[in-house]
Structure 1
Amino acid sequence: MNRLHSVLPFLRWFPMSAAGIRADLLAGITVALILVPQSMAYAQLAGLPVVFGLYASFVPVIVASLWGSSSQLHTGPVAMLSLMSAAAVLPFATPGSPEFIQISVMLALMVGVLRLALGLFKLGAIVNLLSSPVIVGFTNAAALIIGLSQLSKIIGVPFPRSDFYLADLWGVVRQVGATHWPTLAFAVGAYVLIVLLGRIMPRLPGVLVAVVLATIVSAAIGFEQKVEVPLTQVHVPGEVAAIGAYAATAGRIDALTRQIAATNREVARLERAGGLDNITRAADIGKALRPLQHERTLLKAQNNERRIALHELRLEGVKTPAGLDFYAYGKVPAGMQGDGKAWRFARVADGTVTLSAGGAVVGAIPTGLPGFAVPELNWRVMLALLPAALVMALIGFMEATSISKAIATTTGERIDASKELVGQGLANIAGSFFGSYTVSGSFSRSAGAARTGAKTGLFAIVSALVVVLVLLFFTPYLYALPQAVLAVIVMMAVFSLIRVAPLVRAWRVDRVEALIGLVTFAATLWMAPAIANGILLGIVLTLIAYLFKRMKPRAEIVAYKADGTLGGVRAHGLAAISQTVVPVRFDGALTFASVAYFEDVVLDVIAGFPRAQAILIIGSGINSIDASGEEKVRELAKQLHDAGVELYFSGLKHQVLSTLERTGVVDECGRERFLPNKEQALQTLLARYPDSS
């Protein structure tokens, strides 16, 4: 039975009681009321149409609940991985384009395979590479990036997209004067409503109430106000020229993106084919990518500036027999009656320009369930995405397990990290075949499930079925939902993740670790949107600091303090016990990484105490020894003996002493050189080597 439960972990739900089923139904419906608006908001954060958030809230939710370890963990779209997905895919395609969607789905498959492999091989401990300060620094930076990336939707201005997030954010700040006030009003109203309901009526799903009311009001007042007209009906020569240049440049950017993608596919095909000629040809073709990528970067920067400039222009519509003609706002020709609305540029395609006098809404959402489709694989892009996929796999796993363990402290449920990895991996793999992008465990939804009394993973399946009903019957009713409301939902979710206190505490414990956390924070901000690079830098710095500590563990000459205990001579300003017997505390493993430092410590003692006859290594802090350490002990003991100084050890742990015994070091040096404890050792040595001074 235990073996069967390990393969089919959902069997632990049975037998179910009527009360348990009722609790799961209630929890599932409650979570779904949070899931639907959250998933749409996070899909936009991932650079995808909102319907893909709903797709990610269907199959992955069910699979993760069936094969996960925690009964209360809810899997689906989350803010952090949504941003990381967008940042990883952005260099390869335009957000919202078919190529972007295809690569996002492929990335979900990659993350799923990596998590599944980590779970099957029980490598969950790899997450220990992420130290607490690094996680906090990264999370704080990512939360700021995610939250502030929604600012453009809050104030209703374009968000420039480039390879440098801080410059993009500055581009938004520059447009504050062009704020669309009705859009801002929807955002502020949604925020106030969610906060008030959370305080006054906490049982009500404030997020869903805000979404429903905002959609109703938006539809009632005609918030969107959008019109599509031929460019020939815009009678502002300067603006027509600017729109034409913008459209031409956008077309060139799309063509370059397709050309780069095709070149990548060809290079990947040649590399798979193998052979010297194919590999040489692949390298030659690969060199042609650099100028294309450089040109695309320059053109994107130019169009970002054009887009901002176009947004600042205002047009006024005039009714004509052909429809609407547009002139500069307030400069309608004499004899014509303007509509008094300030129309702004929204987009252009195929000679048709879209103008808006209102705010941005979600728009048409496809009705129906996602179909089964095998993800398209681009091997060259996959190779480029691999570092980001690995970081996303680790971050998502860390989120899921930390949430599960936090909930388990109240439920008493045992969490198996490897099983959770398997569940999360299968969820992403299965989801990628049904149009899902990368998913993970959600803290807000999992906490909501636990709070409402969810008993088994059945609650998550219920929430997924509610999403199915939304996809089948309710998507047309979400057309008028203001995007500013979804932006507020994202902002409120991620800004709650920002924590300063852990870094302050880390500074008091270990300033090096705290500094690494701060560097991770700064690097993540600076490298955005490629935020995965920020945490990779944090991991590298953590490993370097760890290795440095292992290479130079604490070592100090000790002497008696006033209370009779031993303390560091330098740390406590103590006088040496003797000039002939020098006790040294060494608190670290004697391995290849630290033996050179161990030797330096001993040689420094010789230099500082020229009349030393015995050096006592207080070894209670030496936890392990390898071949390099054993060899160094042997060499040092012989060198010191030849120089008239004897090397002694006290308090060695059993595993260390037994290793030295097996290799013959104890017999070679003399068993009397290895004493059981420091008190006996000092008493014996001070009597044996009296200080003649």
Structure 2
Amino acid sequence: MGELRDKSVLKADIIAGITVALVLVPQSMAYAQLAGLPAYYGLYASFLPPMVAALFGSSRQLATGPVAMVSLMTATALAPIASQSGDGFLIYALILSLMVGVFQVALGLLRLGVLVDLLSHPVVVGFTNAGAIIIATSQLNKVLGVDKGAGDAHYESVYNTVLTALESTHMPTLYMSILALGIMIILKKYMPKVPNVLVAVVVTTVLAWYTGFSESGGKVVGNIPDGLPGLTIPTEFDMDIVMSLISYAIIISLVGFMEAIAIAKAMAVKTKQRLDANQELVGQGLSNLASGFFSGYPVSGSFSRSAVNINAGAVTGFSSVVTGIVVALTLLLLTPLLYHLPLATLASVIILAVANLVKFKPIVHAWKAEPHDGITAVITFLLTLYIAPHIEYGILVGVVLSIILFVIRFMRPRVAELSRYEDGTMRDIAVFPELEVSDKIALIRFDGSLFFANASYFEFKVLEVMANRPDLKYIILDAEGINQIDSSGEEVLSQVADRLTQNGVTLVVARMKRQFMQALRRTGLHEKMGEGNFFSRITYALDFVWDSLGDEYDRTTCPLRRLST
């Protein structure tokens, strides 16, 4: 952080750090409520983690702390424990954060950040949209001032909550929610530089105190322990419960880091800084360890606060250190002022924060780009909504489905028979059925690496061409799309060449890549098929075939002939 010697950089970082803290303090309390934890757990998770992530990560402007999606997954992980052990479940929030931290640090040190790529874009888009809807609807009872409706599934709970609200909505709570939302929306639109969340918190807290909101049945934050969180090392816990949290810890680790690295990459494009994904994993992991050891819960990089940080002029990670210091001062000096903060305000903060996450255009775009991706996104979205609160299964099914569809695509790559188009290029006759084909020569292109999963398919398609053309003498394989060939692919290629030879058809290969030819030379297949049957260009292969067919074959009428210019 040599830049801090520059007073202008130091000033910019201090201003940015304070600005982020003004957003983080109320947001963190809201997200802790979303996670099913006391509001002050959000403040604890906002004290050391931002500093640690900034000091040990690679991104200078990434703002780390409680975020909506990780808070929702934390709630999912802890809900069964909370129903069994009352307040005793709070210790498992710390343990979950420690588990997430250990997993992320291990991935970073082993340079396995590539595992995050298993979360494909369609899966993330589907899961994020569903998660945002689940988060927003989970706050309805707090906005309406009613008890949460019963139901095993989230949609049942929401339905029963609405039914309850029709009969017994607590009107002061509803008015407070509308006021908070109105303040945040109006300020965000007309006065974007004003910390709208902080203003809403201050106004509604003062109003709640002045009107006796809690005495009328409205729910408020209540007492927050004074002082900073101390070092906590969990010693008394049920090992069976800890083991049940492992799968949640892994999913939170991957989803949280994926969110963080996506934000960091977007900012790195603007700042032109170098970003190390594995170093960022270490930074995020250590921040989760710090959160776990100091009474917090799992954290990650925040979209909204990172945007505030970079827009406020943050240059180095010192801005996050300033943010942590401001949160510490809040815990030391300002907690009594938060007693009358309505939970309805925190619910409104959450709803507004996740509203921008609901975007269906990316799903439509994924469908247009590749229907399989669209299917993955839609299934992940619908399944996550249906099985909530067990949202971890939605993302797991999405990952498995995307991998299966990926494998299927590789098992059935495009095999195109080509013919000469009117502009002189070779085109797929399936796309241009008006193109003529030769009865003596077939030109086919295999668009994929030739390996064990698709070798049989390759064999079937080549032999199918031969079976459909009884007078065929030559098959030219355009191998430009074959990037790799494994032992299974090499064996099938050898068998295909033999089968064709037995039926009086010669296999000729054109436009081979170096790695393809190296494999054939190592196995001797190149020599077996004949040096003269391999050509660097399709033109050379056609010349060879036409010469071999002799004068009785009129190349001037061949559909594959070169057009005169």
Aligned to 2:439: 579
Could you say which residue in structure 2 is the equivalent of 1:484?
344
Deviation larger for 98-107 or 451-460: 98-107
2:257 corresponds, among 385, 388, 397, to 397
Distance 2:238 2:400 in 1: 29
Secondary structure, aligned partner of 1:584: strand
The question of whether the paired residues in 1 share the 8 Å contact of 2:150 and 2:160 is answered with no
Q: Which residue of 2 aligns with 1:362?
A: 221
**Structure 1 residue 458 corresponds to structure 2 residue 318:** yes
User: TM-score, normalised to structure 2's length?
Assistant: 0.95
The code of the aligned residue for 2:521 comes to E
Q: For 1:48 and 1:24, how far apart are their aligned partners in 2? A: 31
Unaligned 5+ segments in structure 2 are 559-565
Superposed CA offset, 1:283-329 (max 9, x none): xxxxxxxxxxxxxxxxxxxxxxxxxxxxxxxxxxxxxxxxxxxxxxx
Identify which of 62, 86, 104 aligns with 1:115.
104
Counterpart of 1:184? Answer: 174
Correspondence list, 1:203-218, <5 A: 203-218=193-208
Deviates further, 589-598 or 602-611: 602-611
Letter in 1 for 2:320: A
User: Which piece of structure 1 moves more, 18-27 or 95-104?
Assistant: 95-104
Aligned to 2:232: 373
Cα contact 2:442–2:476 (8 A) shared by 1: yes
The 5 A counterparts of 1:123-202 are 123-160=112-149, 162-177=151-166, 178-202=168-192
Compared with structure 1, are the counterparts of its residues 671 and 574 closer, same or farther at alpha carbon in structure 2 (3 Å cutoff)? farther
Shift of 1:161: 5.5
Shift of 1:431: 1.6
Partner of 1:633: 493
Match of 1:560 among 420, 426, 433: 420
1:36 aligns with 2:19: no
> Which letter does structure 1 place at the counterpart of 2:127?
F
Distance 1:40 1:15 in 2: 31
Measure, in 1, the Cα distance between the counterparts of 2:126 and 2:84. Answer: 27
Q: Distance in 1 between matches of 2:108 and 2:85?
A: 32
Could you tell me how far 1:596 is from its partner in structure 2?
Answer: 1.0
Aligned residue number for residue 5 of structure 2: 16
| Residue in 1 that maps onto 2:300 | 440
Query: Which residue of the other structure, out of 683, 687, 693, is the alignment partner of 2:543?
Result: 683
Q: Which residue of 2 aligns with 1:544?
A: 404
For 1:203, the aligned partner's letter is: K
The residue number in structure 1 matching 2:382 is 522
Contact 1:52 1:437 in 2 (8 A): yes
C-alpha distance 147-223 of structure 1, shift in aligned 2 (>3 A): same
TM-score (norm 1): 0.77
Partner of 1:344: none
The answer for the alignment partner of 1:243 in structure 2 is none
Deviates more, 1:483-492 or 1:115-124: 115-124
Secondary structure of the 1:570 match is coil
Contact 2:151 2:160 in 1 (8 A): no
Deviation per CA, 1:248-270: give whole Å up to 9, x if none: xxxxxxxxxxxxxxxxxxxxxxx
Q: Quick check: 2:3–2:316 contact (8 Å CA) kept in 1?
A: no
Partner of 2:505: 645
CA drift at 1:545: 0.6
**What's the CA shift string for 1:516-541, capped at 9, x where partnerless?**
10000001101111112111111101
2:366 — aligned with what?
506
Q: Deviations over 1:604-656 (max 9, x none)?
A: 11221122221111110111111111111122212221222211111011111
Does 2:71 match 1:71? no
Q: Match for residue 535 of structure 1? A: 395
Counterpart-to-counterpart distance in 1, 2:510 and 2:539:
9
* CA distance in structure 2 between the aligned counterparts of 1:550 and 1:645, rounded to whole angstroms: 28
- Confirm or deny: 8 A CA contact 2:20 2:309 kept in the other structure: yes
- The whole-number CA distance in structure 1 between the counterparts of 2:544 and 2:471 is 18
2:266: which partner in 1? 406
CA distance in 2, matches of 1:459, 1:392: 26
Task: Give the total of aligned pairs.
Answer: 551
Asked whether the equivalents of residues 568 and 574 of structure 1 are also in contact (C-alpha less than 8 Å), the reply is no
Please state whether the residue corresponding to 2:482 is helix, strand or coil.
coil
CA deviation map 1:381-430 (0-9, x unaligned): 33322222212111111111111111112211111111100000011112
**Any gaps of 5 or more consecutive residues in structure 1?**
1-11, 226-356
Runs of 4+ in 1 over 3 A off after TM superposition: 12-15, 160-163, 376-379, 689-693
Task: Write the deviation string for residues 62-107 of structure 1: whole angstroms up to 9, x where unpaired.
Answer: 1111101111111000000000000012122239933321112111
> Match for residue 669 of structure 1?
529
Q: Which letter maps to 1:111?
A: V
**Counterpart code for 2:212:** G
Displacement of 1:576? 4.0
- Cα distance between partner residues in 2 of 1:691 and 1:515: 49
Bigger drift between 364-373 and 14-23 goes to 14-23
What's 2:50 paired with? 61
Q: Which secondary structure does the structure 2 equivalent of 1:36 belong to?
A: helix
Taking the aligned partners of 2:277 and 2:48, their CA distance within structure 1 comes to 22
Q: After superposition, give the CA deviation of every residue in 1:227-246 in whole Å (9 maximum; x if it has no partner).
A: xxxxxxxxxxxxxxxxxxxx
CA apart distance, 1:682: 2.3
Match of 2:561 in 1: none
Contact 1:63 1:427 in 2 (8 A): yes
Instruction: Give the 5 Å matches for 1:234-383.
Output: 357-376=216-235, 378-383=238-243
Q: Give the deviation of 1:162 after TM superposition.
A: 4.8
Of all paired residues, the percent bearing the same amino acid is: 44
Larger radius of gyration: 1
User: Aligned pair 1:623/2:479, yes or no?
Assistant: no
Counterpart of 2:305, as a letter, is R
Shift of 1:179: 1.3
Query: For residues 70 and 37 of structure 1, what CA distance do their matches in structure 2 show?
Result: 24
CA contact (8 A) 2:417 2:443 kept: yes
Whole-Å Cα distance in 1 between the matches of residues 118 and 519 of structure 2? 29
Task: Tell me the CA shift for residue 482 of structure 1.
Answer: 0.8
2:222 alignment partner AA? G
d(CA) in 2 for partners of 1:691, 1:597: 32
